[in-house]
Structure 1
Amino acid sequence: MSDLENLRFVALGDSQTEGLGDGDDTVGLRGWADRLAEQLALHHPGTQYANLAVRGRTAEQVREGQLAPALALRPGLATVVAGVNDLLRPRFDADEVAGHLEAMYAALTAQGARVATLTFPDVARLTPLARPVGSRVGALNHRIRQAAGRHGVTVVETSRHPVVTDPRLWSPDRLHASPLGHERIAAAVAHALELPGSDDSWTRPLAGPPVVVPAGWRAAAGELRWVASFLGPWLGRRMLGRSSGDGRTAKRPALLPVRTARAGDASTANGPRPGGGPG
């Protein structure tokens, strides 16, 4: 990507791309896409960045609500990361979800954008209660690779490295990356895009002793707390036909200049943060 000056970078997706787990709605969300934009700005003068992602969106909703605005911005680089909200729903069709992703890949690449996407880790390695979702993750990842191959999309293979399920890379809800996790995702995408200074260090185990995983009754108690704090409310919204993204809009719908990171900033890809209240 060394030939790209005045780069236009547009991120499409759901809560992970919006930045949940890295900052909050009070101080602002940062997230891996913001972090990647900062890295791009270091090497591509005049980089502009828009983030159209909204939490709770399925792949179909991302396609319906974000693809046309993204195309109107005529990006040189676009990231498309969606499908986790589909994986967790009672009805899941890997071909249908991949079809929505492929439609976005096709439209963006046909316009001349370079497109990058991610594969997803097996969440069963984070919580045993998610074990039934493991086969869905594998099926979707397989289809993502196939669709990406047909359109020259860069696939960031986060799913293939054990470090991605280190609990330290995840928020307490086990669904969103922690600040350190978002940092690793940004590094993974930068490496796949061959940005100057990037390497495979994001694949390596974290320093320090690993997190001790409880066993027996302590593990069961931890799972019950997780269900009460996170899974229960999520299921409740599904039963009522609601989403954490209801009433929310993209935090950065327009292309804006990017400033590089400063110590202590929760969000350094500057710009307005429109959106609704908590989901």
Structure 2
Amino acid sequence: MTTTQRYAALGDSFTEGVGDWDAASPNGVRGWADRVAEQLVLADPSWDYANLAIRGKKMRQILDEQIDAALALQPTLVTIYAGANDILRPRVDIDLLMARYDDGVGRLRDAGADVVLFTGFDASGSAVFGTTRGRTAVYNEWVREIADTRGATVVDYWRLREFQDWGYWDVDRMHMSAAGHTLMAVRVLEAMKASHRIDLPELEARPALKRVEQLRADAQWARAYLSPWVGRRLRGVSSGDALSPKYPTPGHPHWATVPA
């Protein structure tokens, strides 16, 4: 008898798949976690998959709303990335935040699940988000320590320097593009030492902009994406407030072809 293996993906927009737009998928996005799940199913049809991540969620929300839900599914594998939205807040107690994270990861490991964690991205190339680089570095040291203590796997996003290429980012400059999510899926599978059949995307060369053109593009981006993002935070609302998890019930999503 084949034993079911279950993958549960937890987190915020990063794991939900924002930036990898797909009208056929729930919430209109696919993402790296869906792509990882597809490869697991292709290699072994005993795998099924749930994705509980919702954009905009902060650490406490992810721990309070998603850990218990994931444990109820009795997962074999859990990927979790939480804390990025907290780091972007004006004030954050990273030590307290990460102590809670450690507890959550411990619960998943105590339940027998393999756990994959992520360090935060090095946003040094962003004039806006690069200001949080120091906070992210502290967060990353905590992640590595939690992984060492709890026996978790780390995908070291900070050290994945290929993501410094803007071709891997969506037009909002905050989320990975379809190419970025595809690359991330490969890096996650590699960290797990899992096989895959994903071809890495070839990025189109982007022409260098003159200074005036770059300033104009930056101003357009600020109006279209940065200002609404800041406005939501000032109002205490999130782009994910009205959304439900993409795949709350384990199974094989529509894009996963199960081998005969």
TM > 0.5: yes
| Cα distance change, pair 25–66 in 1 and its aligned pair in 2 (3 A) | farther
- CA distance, structure 2, for counterparts of residue 105 and residue 80 of structure 1: 9
Query: Residue 162 of structure 1 aligns to which amino acid in structure 2?
Result: R
| Alignment deviations for residues 214-243 of structure 1 (CA, whole Å, 9 cap, x no partner) | 353333222222211111101111111111
CA distance in 1, matches of 2:186, 2:65: 27
- 2:195 aligned partner: 196
Check if 1:244 corresponds to 2:254. no
Tell me how far 1:75 sits from its aligned partner: 0.3
8 Å Cα contact 2:167/2:204 also seen in 1: no
Instruction: Provide, for residues 80-120 of structure 1, a one-character-per-residue CA deviation record: whole Å limited to 9, x for no partner.
Output: 11121112111122223322322221010000000001112
**Judging changes above 3 Å, is the alpha-carbon distance between structure 1 residues 207 and 22 closer, same or farther for their aligned structure 2 residues?**
closer
* Aligned-pair CA distance for 1:149: 1.1
- What does residue 228 of structure 1 align with? 223
Find the aligned partners of 2:20 and 2:8 in 1 and give their Cα distance. Answer: 19
Alignment of 1:249-268 (within 5 A): 249-258=244-253, 261=256
- Structure 1 match to 2:127: 128
Tell which deviates more after alignment, 213-222 or 165-174.
Answer: 213-222
Q: Distance in 2 between matches of 1:135 and 1:111?
A: 33
Identity level (%): 36
For the Cα contact (< 8 Å) 1:116–1:153, is it kept in 2? yes
Q: Do the aligned partners of residues 25 and 92 (structure 1) sit closer, same or farther apart at CA in structure 2, a change above 3 Å counting?
A: farther
The amino acid that maps onto 2:18 is L
Structure 2 equivalent of residue 11 of structure 1: 9
Counterpart Cα distance in 1 of 2:108 and 2:48? 17
Once the two structures are TM-superposed, the CA of residue 161 in structure 1 deviates from its matched residue by: 2.6
Count the aligned residue pairs. Answer: 255
Q: Pairwise mapping of residues 129-278 of structure 1 onto structure 2 (< 5 A)?
A: 129-197=128-196, 207=202, 210-214=205-209, 216-258=211-253, 261=256
Whole-angstrom distance in 1 between the partners of 2:123 and 2:143:
17
Q: TM-score, normalised by structure 1?
A: 0.84
Q: CA deviation at 1:135?
A: 1.2
CA shift, 1:24, in A, is 4.5
Counterpart Cα distance in 2 of 1:100 and 1:184: 30
Tell me the SS of whatever aligns to 2:120.
coil
Gaps of 5+ in 1: 263-267, 269-279
Q: 2:253 and 2:204 mapped to 1: Cα distance?
A: 36
Note if contact 1:7-1:46 (Cα within 8 Å) is conserved in structure 2.
yes
Measured in 1, the distance between the counterparts of 2:122 and 2:246 equals: 28
CA distance in 2, matches of 1:149, 1:198: 30
Displaced runs of 4 or more, over 6 A: none
Q: CA RMSD in A?
A: 2.4
